[in-house]
Structure 1
């Protein structure tokens, strides 16, 4: 279920290990996370039980989810901001919070999240099923 669990993690990311684009991003983050500040949890792993986190599988699949050490949940672009801050890219993260840029990134992510299964070839006969 979870991997790279350490005592000093700053953010847990719940990612879809069956999504080629998502997996590429996670591999990059794993490589850059030299201080083990990110806890990675693959929601596609058969041992992952979404209900144990108080959410449905669909909620995890609809947009990226993250959790902070205190138990607070974060979603969408904020997860990416926390991930990139954890690997030392805080100046880049600060740029994503600027008016205009922030709004554009939020819109872009929403479009991607809504179409992620289709964009990664995981739909058949015009339907996108979540297992």
Structure 2
């Protein structure tokens, strides 16, 4: 989130920055599984919150990797890579790829879907880091935080050096048509 805040501040005041720094972010390789419990072997009754994340986003993966590492001690977050060939909206409250790409979504164990900064709050609370986002529960900070996140969500793809969502969706559609449900085919 610190990277996100810095990036958005730079956009607001008109600075241009190199995407190279973002591309140098260390990420875990994309795995072909739709749900990633971080090797913890979680059953549905064990996790408190399911995080839907874009495994193709290098900046997003910094936060995901930190949460995965922290989750080893809590076993409370289930990680789902929406960019996986196996991603299933049916397993994730009907959230299709396009919707999930628009902003962060988390699914509580009771099926409640939360988005935006509230999703981050729930995720961080699940690994005993709730204090990081606690201030965002109160006005006017809540409104400001959601507005800042909204700008990030809108410009996330170009900031991380990726094509617009429409192009990503078209490439995904073409891949689906070419692969004909083959699990070995990747974008």
Distance 1:121 1:90 in 2: 31
User: Normalised by the size of structure 2, how large is the TM-score?
Assistant: 0.64
SS of equivalent to 1:111: helix
What is the alpha-carbon root mean square deviation over aligned residues?
1.7
Match of 1:2 in 2: 35
Higher relative contact order (CA 8 A, sep 6+): 1
Moved more, 41-50 or 111-120: 41-50
Please give the alpha-carbon distance, in whole angstroms, between the structure 2 residues aligned to 1:96 and 1:65: 17
Q: Which has the larger share of helix?
A: 2
Of Structure 1 and Structure 2, which has the larger fraction of its residues in strand?
1
Larger CA Rg, structure 1 vs 2: 2
8 A contact 1:118–1:128 mirrored in 2: no
Report if aligned partners of 1:13, 1:40 keep a CA contact under 8 Å in 2. yes
Query: 1:109-120 residue pairs with structure 2 within 5 A?
Result: 109-120=149-160
After the TM superposition, which parts of structure 1 deviate over 4 Å for at least 4 consecutive aligned residues?
A: none
Q: Quick one: which of 60, 83, 107 aligns to 1:22?
A: 60
1:103 corresponds to which residue?
A: 143
Question: Normalising by structure 1, what TM-score?
Answer: 0.89
Identify unmatched segments of 5+ residues in structure 1: none
Describe the superposition over 1:25-76 as per-residue Cα deviations: whole angstroms up to 9, x where unpaired. Answer: 1000011111111000000111112355423211010011110111111111
2:102 corresponds to which of 42, 62, 77: 62
How far 1:115 sits from its partner (Å)? Answer: 0.6
Aligned to 1:90: 130
